[in-house]
Structure 1
């Protein structure tokens, strides 16, 4: 059976996103900036198309509302009070609310969606709905937290997108930052998990293809970190008063992608294509009708 127009459009957006991601990692100057802007725009477009592929419009709206509210709320709270990420400052350009750049809120929406779908695939469905409702947010939280573990040293000390008041650890990212990601991620995912099932679309022949897309994008995001190592050169940055080679940061973060992100991709693909369809309830889910 032919794939739905939304699925075909989704794969086109994924292809553009991967091309822009690789270009961003391997180029410099204005070319890299344009490619990064294209990558961000295509990721946002992908989330919208993908949400409408797997959920009815009310479900997509509910996800965006939860992600924006939770992401913005905790980011603003931390800037003002130090909870839950610790005190830090964003340096990203563009409009902001409560000290939080809109691009940061958009990043929460995008990353959380990818992690949510990856977790849905990995966890699947249990006979007890509530077991899935509890376990899927936990897995999604660890998935998005794993990405943060990989990317924050680069964001803070290579790209200087933000800075911590009290840096710590080998790569200068305090433990409180990771704890904040886990807290924020879990609240976001658990809130959505409690309400999302009523808006799921019935599985079709295109559902497996649609569920594969986040794994491909997750792979591309990990690849971007690894490709960054190729042009790190001899430049250095300063972490807690000590000079550190950018190549060392990229090398460490690249190694982490193999296990923090690569494992997620492999497991999700195995879950999607394992031989027994009944074991892939994210695809064959008789309980996805409206509640």
Structure 2
């Protein structure tokens, strides 16, 4: 497990570095024609630029996925790791395929070619992976944080589903406007909406999809005892905040301030508050009994 922990740390570091590299490309290189021309005048510059455009987004999402998968396996075991990852990926992919082919539940949109191979020619394979690693990070912090509050067990799980889905959706408040209107967009809305180019339906779709796969994962988790004692939540918190920061920088660079404010209030504040409760009001014996 020690070796897995080390690998997990390397993957998390690579995830953050890859996002920083991608931000630099989107914000500094692509909009600056003179700089991009000078960069691509060198052979090494052409290779870096081509790699960034073809695989930069894919790499950071793959690294984040594997880091969270190792963390979930190491901390929760095989059943609870797969019990979350399989429904998260499967159900989010189903929603995305429906969304890109019918417009339900997010609205009418389509993905471009910057995020890897498209499943059924519609959804990049990396998209359901991001649902998994961000959704898991939000859910596990919410669940452990709520264990410190006296309430009925079913209400605690319901709260984890609600807060986890809200924090996941709040990340999209910030990410979606920027990524769809970046100098090199990653997806486009064929049904422009009132919220910085996005339909409000999109957020209902995000909230609903998150709640469905988190509810399925909750039912699977409750089939076997779950020990939440000794839960170091540093990795899921770092994953959430790093991805939120990535989205924030893109949004601020595009002049989208309201989405960032909403994301902080509805996403970052609850996540940090629940993390604080989990780390400052921890009682391992109670945690075991409450979720068993």
Q: Secondary structure at the match of 1:163?
A: strand
For 1:14-25, what aligned pairs fall within 5 Å after superposition? 14-25=12-23
Q: Distance in 2 between matches of 1:59 and 1:175?
A: 33
Q: How many residues align?
A: 265
For residues 79-125 of structure 1, the C-alpha deviation after alignment (integer angstroms, 9 at most, x for no partner) is 33322112222223423126222122222222221222122133226
TM-score, normalised on structure 1? 0.78
Q: Contact 1:147–1:261 (CA<8 Å) still a contact in 2?
A: yes
Q: Secondary structure at the match of 2:235?
A: helix
Q: Contact 2:162–2:211 (CA<8 Å) still a contact in 1?
A: yes
Residues 116, 265 of structure 1: CA spacing in aligned structure 2 closer, same or farther, 3 A cutoff?
closer
Q: Contact 1:222–1:254 (CA<8 Å) still a contact in 2?
A: no
For 1:1-291, what aligned pairs fall within 5 Å after superposition? 4-27=2-25, 28=29, 29-30=49-50, 32-33=52-53, 36-92=57-113, 93-97=116-120, 99-124=122-147, 128-158=152-182, 159-199=184-224, 202-203=227-228, 207-209=230-232, 211-228=233-250, 232=253, 246=254, 248-249=255-256, 251-274=257-280, 276-278=281-283, 284-289=287-292
In structure 1, list runs of 5 or more residues that go unmatched. Answer: 233-245
Q: Please report how far the alpha carbon of residue 152 of structure 1 lies from its aligned counterpart in structure 2 after TM superposition.
A: 0.6
Q: Contact 1:133–1:194 (CA<8 Å) still a contact in 2?
A: no
In structure 2, list runs of 5 or more residues that go unmatched. Answer: 30-48
Q: Please report how far the alpha carbon of residue 156 of structure 1 lies from its aligned counterpart in structure 2 after TM superposition.
A: 1.3
TM-score, normalised on structure 2? 0.78
Q: Contact 2:64–2:133 (CA<8 Å) still a contact in 1?
A: yes
After superposing the two structures, state which structure 1 stretch, 155-164 or 257-266, moved more: 257-266
Residues 257, 83 of structure 1: CA spacing in aligned structure 2 closer, same or farther, 3 A cutoff?
closer
Q: CA RMSD in A?
A: 2.8
Larger helix fraction of residues: 2
Residues 62, 143 of structure 1: CA spacing in aligned structure 2 closer, same or farther, 3 A cutoff?
same
For residues 253-281 of structure 1, the C-alpha deviation after alignment (integer angstroms, 9 at most, x for no partner) is 4444433443134213311332x433x88
